[in-house]
Amino acid sequence: MGDAYPAEVTASSSCDWALLGTMVTRLRMRPGQVLADIGCGTGGVGLWLARALAVRLAGVDISSTAVELATARRSHFLPPDRAVFRVGTVEETGLPDGHVHGAVCVDAMGNAADRAAALRELHRVLHSGGRAVLTRAVRRDSPPAWREQATGAGFEVEHIDERPDEPAMWRRLYELWIAHEADLRHHLGDVQAQNMLHEATRTLPRLDNRHAFVMTLRRLPVADGAG
């Protein structure tokens, strides 16, 4: 993928150096706080950020295989007690109310069966004043009402950062997935690999009409004295 993409992260996602920098900047976290990586895959993005920000990590993914791989990788980035991974979905993470001070969701929100429910879940697990940084992509000719969905879940839309090079990155990544199908099946298992290959063949023809951006949402702080 070239030196624009951090090899250490080994993410099956659109994570590049520019995105990591954007997430570090937008999260505004303090050492010792808790970061959630929702749709964490094999954990690279969240582990890299947790190390860079000196925070603890709670990773969630729908794939038990991915969770096992992420757990096995954590000692390469952090002391093992600073990162915990669990099976869950973007709509039902299993995390307690207000548990995290920041959250990232890289290329997972678009796969949510119920995006409004996924946004409400993010709002629920975030501490007052916490931020969620999400990658999103919409069709240029028919953008969905993502801003209204975010505000409807109780968020303030704090920043929108454009990602003009993201569609070309996905084209390269999807072509690599297809070319290395056997490796995917060996390392991730047939179910996860088949899901990725289905995504690649379904999405490749649509990339020319793709508008990608990073959305930073903030759970508004509770006023002093409020219940």
What are the pLDDT digits (tens) for 189-222?
898 899 889 999 999 998 999 889 999 999 998 7
Answer whether 100's CB lies under 8 Å from 127's CB. Answer: yes
Place of tokens 């409020």: 226
- Of 51-55, 86-90, 168-172, the range with the lowest mean pLDDT is 168-172
What CATH architecture does domain 17-164+210-219 belong to? 3-Layer(aba) Sandwich (3.40)
Mean pLDDT of 134-143: 83
Which pTM does this prediction carry? Answer: 0.85
Select from 115, 128, 121 the least CA-distant residue to 156. 128
Q: How far apart are CA 166 and CA 132, in angstroms?
A: 20
Q: How far apart are CA 103 and CA 78, in angstroms?
A: 18
Mean pLDDT of 91-105: 98
Per-residue pLDDT for 135 more than 90?
yes
Hey, CA dihedral for 186, 174, 40, 18, is it positive or negative?
Answer: positive
Residue range 154-184, pLDDT digits in tens:
999 999 999 998 888 889 889 999 999 999 9
Domain boundaries, the chain: 17-164+210-219
The 3-state DSSP class for residue 105 equals: strand
* DSSP bridge pairs for 92: none
Answer whether 197's CB lies under 8 Å from 110's CB. Answer: no
Cα angle 23, 154, 26 (rounded to 5 degrees) comes to: 15
* Structure letter (DSSP) for residue 58: E
